[in-house]
Structure 1
Amino acid sequence: MTLPAVLGGPGLRRGSLPLPFKHQLMRASAVEELDSPPSSPEVSSTGGASPAGGRGPYKVMLLGEAGVGKTTLAAIFGGMKGTAHHEEEHAEDSYERKFYVDEEEVTLILYDIWDQGDAGGWMQESCMQTGDAFLVVFSVTDRRSFTRVPPTLLRLRAESPRTDPPIILVGNKSDLARSREVSREEGRSLAVMMNCKHIETSAALHHNTQELFEGVVRQIRLRRHRREGDGFGEGAGGRRESITKKAKRFLSSLVPRNGRFFKQRSKSCNDLSVL
């Protein structure tokens, strides 16, 4: 069963940013939704308690170089069907969906606006500041897009207000075996080194796309439960970690304690149902 059938019906359009006018829009109007803080797991968007069994909305950002398949992945999430040309022509900037993962309803908003901002500009900064989770996409047929992943991840770790945001490294276009330039092992090794998750997808064939979107929900929940268990909050009542401390903590986590540690992380980095 494909993801659109599971999620049921087309997605809702939220905060669309027409590309031809991207440099003419004021920041306040262009990222009206993004200017709000990351979603709190205990409080709904209206300020009250989340309804029983419901969570979110959570803002998930698609990051990565142009041409790696972010727009097609977003269109699949939004329930669109047709050729790649059709999807690009009528693509939206974001899609909102309600669906069930592990018998719990969740509301997810997937943003595909990374390419609309200049490198290092306010649009990309807003993505990093307001995202609840991040899908960093590269093409397994384009090594250059893979080499750009580490700088993006390091920047994300530094700029995100969350101390440990859910990040999934997505190797797309896995169906193009003859054109592959990045092996599965390379993607997995980078995910282990950068302390994030890894999955390979084929947006053209809808391969592993449902697993990806359900997996990012599970990663959000796992970190929420860990914060609740540690008594740590990142909202108004929590103390935000400084960028310097965050960088030191993250860099220390990149050094494997021993070979066994690395092997364990390598086995778990593809499992989106565990931390």
Structure 2
Amino acid sequence: MSEPTSHVLPLHRIIMLGGEGVGKSALTLQFMYNEYNDEYEPTKADIYRKTLQLDGEQVQIDILDTAGQKVNVVIRDSYYRRADGFLCVFSIADEGSFQAIQAARDLVLQLRKDESVPFLLVGNKSDLQEERQVPLGECQARARKWGVSYVETSAKLHQNVHLVFYDLMRQISSRKASESMATNGGRKCKKKGCHACAIL
């Protein structure tokens, strides 16, 4: 009697984009371990994996936290091309970090050549409203321009941390389902001997 085939869980690969000090690592650690450490100083890029329930389905998530460090270009480009989605993070208390996100978005589009790739814009450090440098309207306008969702988070207060990761995973899951349906539909059509109609 043969042993049952082990079930391979769906894997969603996410990359954290954004400059140094915007809180990418803090968001990642809050999501992974429900921990916040304002003295945490990442020294290199790290990949975290977690198994969780997404709308009743067990999935795995891989998070690449670039930690604001410069990564080897070849390795970076490989990660970007294989990623399923991107969380682009800036600090609402740092105008410079907001201006820098355009370059991150441009690089994703350059490597993926796909404006519909799952992507979420995140304004972190919402607990620093008194130090806010980027108006909410400006953040929302940028998200509308890119055609993506915008959410404000606080890794320190654990506000909307799980929300942004789950929202992005739902985008990824929906996209994969659509692509799978399109692929399977094409295969079924080939098996049945379907022929495309040409309009002359």
TM-score normalised by L of structure 2: 0.79
1:74 aligned residue: 28
1:107 aligned residue: 60
Q: Do the aligned partners of residues 146 and 163 (structure 1) sit closer, same or farther apart at CA in structure 2, a change above 3 Å counting?
A: closer
Higher strand share: 2
Cα separation, 1, equivalents of 2:170 and 2:37: 30
Q: 1:253-272 alignment to 2 at 5 Å?
A: none
The Cα of 1:126 is off from its aligned counterpart by: 2.9
The Cα of 1:206 is off from its aligned counterpart by: 0.7
- Output one character per residue of 1:40-85: Cα deviation in whole Å (capped at 9) or x when no partner: xxxxxxxxx993xx74222100011111001111111220525321
SS of the counterpart of 2:102?
A: helix
Say what the alpha-carbon RMSD is for the aligned residues: 2.6
2:13 aligned residue: 59
Residue 217 (str. 1) matches residue 169 (str. 2): yes
Residue type matched to 1:186 in 2? E
Percentage of matched positions with identical amino acids: 29
Q: 1:32-181 alignment to 2 at 5 Å?
A: 51=7, 55-79=9-33, 81-85=35-39, 87-88=40-41, 93-113=46-66, 115-117=68-70, 121-160=73-112, 164-181=116-133
CA contact (8 A) 1:74 1:94 kept: no
The Cα of 1:162 is off from its aligned counterpart by: 5.6
- Output one character per residue of 1:155-198: Cα deviation in whole Å (capped at 9) or x when no partner: 21120266631000110001101100112221111111012221
Q: Do the aligned partners of residues 129 and 90 (structure 1) sit closer, same or farther apart at CA in structure 2, a change above 3 Å counting?
A: closer
Name which one, 1 or 2, has greater alpha-carbon Rg. 2
Residue type matched to 2:87 in 1? L
Q: 1:230-269 alignment to 2 at 5 Å?
A: 231=182
Moved over 6 A (4+): 89-92
Q: Do the aligned partners of residues 116 and 126 (structure 1) sit closer, same or farther apart at CA in structure 2, a change above 3 Å counting?
A: farther
TM-score normalised by L of structure 1: 0.59
Cα separation, 2, equivalents of 1:206 and 1:92: 22
Cα separation, 2, equivalents of 1:211 and 1:191: 17
SS of the counterpart of 1:164?
A: coil
Residue type matched to 1:111 in 2? L
Residue type matched to 1:171 in 2? G
CA contact (8 A) 2:26 2:36 kept: no
Q: Do the aligned partners of residues 58 and 186 (structure 1) sit closer, same or farther apart at CA in structure 2, a change above 3 Å counting?
A: same
SS of the counterpart of 1:170?
A: strand
Residue type matched to 1:202 in 2? S
Q: Do the aligned partners of residues 55 and 162 (structure 1) sit closer, same or farther apart at CA in structure 2, a change above 3 Å counting?
A: farther
Cα separation, 2, equivalents of 1:121 and 1:90: 18
Aligned residues: 180
Cα separation, 2, equivalents of 1:124 and 1:178: 36
Cα separation, 1, equivalents of 2:67 and 2:80: 10
- Output one character per residue of 1:184-234: Cα deviation in whole Å (capped at 9) or x when no partner: 2211111110122211100111100011111111110121233244x159x
